Chain A
Amino acid sequence: SLRCSQNSNLCCRRDYYVDFRDIGWNDWIIKPEGYQINYCVGQCPLHVAGSPGMASSFHTAVFNLVKANNIQASGHSCCVPTRRRPLSVLYFDRHSNIVKTDIPDMIVDACGCS
């Protein structure tokens, strides 16, 4: 999967980190110190549909379907998350209890064209 550089326009993962101190949430969230709110951005020309970030066999199958059915004009592909990972959070609830929970699929790790 690609990580966005300054001028990449193909589907890639743009990293962005929100520090809880910047938004004043470090008083009730004990850990972590911030949240990696990565997101997917970029174009998905049809010939890269089903890649990167997915099995190349899947991309080949999609590519052949696109060619065989000549859907070059109407079909389109979107830049979407293809792999995510959980986020463990330790925080105070409104009764000042400490709560620990693992939130599944919270951080985008890889992007690809649907």
Chain B
Amino acid sequence: FHLGVTPTVLRQRYNLSASDIGRHPNNSQGCAQFLEQYFHPADLSEFMYLFGRGFSHHSEVDHVVGEQGGGRAGLEASLDVEYIMSTGANISTWVFSNPGRHESQEPFLQWMILLSNMSSVPWVHTISYGDDEDTLSVAFMQRINVEFLKAASRGLTILFASGDDGAGCREVVKAKNVFRPSFPASSPYVTTVGGTSFKNPFQVTREVTDYISGGGFSNVFPMPQYQVSAVSKYLQSTEKLPPESYYNRSGRAYPDVAALSDNYWVVINRVPVPWVSGTSASTPVFGGIIALINDHRLQKGLPTLGFLNPALYALKGDGLSDVTEGCHLSCIDDIVLGQGFCATPSWDPVTGWGTPNFPELLKALLR
């Protein structure tokens, strides 16, 4: 029985034992914040005091890149830091704070540029940022995609939240809707994390789809080779799919994986706050687990995981708990009635391959 998701609940659900903590001195993980979102070191310390018992962990962030403003802490920033350090326990953690120093700068672009200008950066990055694909120029998205390629070539793992609007919805002409993919979640060179909730919200049970979990098919990026087989299988074997006019069957499909995204506890401005939800929560949780696997790889003298998807899709779900129940939301119209895609056995565009089972995923990614 529990009253919401805490590090203990996550570590129990994802089979992380007390000894599953980081140990390698060169391991690192980080999260990026935009829009003057700051965390307070005192909140992190209190969070770990309240919820971080039973496993070794850091209670302080090692590097803050950019300026940490004063004033009140942001919920988003506090959530990211507190949870990446709960699954990625005992691992050196960086926070990138990118408010855009000047009014005419773009905070997300500033973070991307920063990566191109630092020879030493964390191996794993989690980011909860996104825009609707249709509001961005193709030239911008293509170039940012190359920036992700640059990160991948250096062995960095970049994880993005899949979004909190399910398949999304956009009215193209009057009374004609289509789903609305989100970028960078739709980039073929990042790993996108969807969301789940407990079947029984007060027990550590199996997981079902969180109806807000973002997912779908890109209208800009074609389907990459690594996912063709998995996605084709989904499209061919799923009995009830939304009408084809709502999405681009040949686009990059996301999310790739998922983690719990519902009912988290966060300490913010010294107050424990319950019921925090969204894929902004699941992303740092999955990122911390990838950082832990990197730790084991580094200890064995192996390279870091880098761009995860080719390895992840080759596993065909090995090391992950498949989520097979529930659908996410989409357009509220007469045709789809608010329902987007549904979870199925194996990969699906709601929860990807599923949620981590740490010992098995570790074994699979050490092979």
The answer to whether A and B assemble together is no
Which B residues are closer than 8 A to A by beta carbons? none
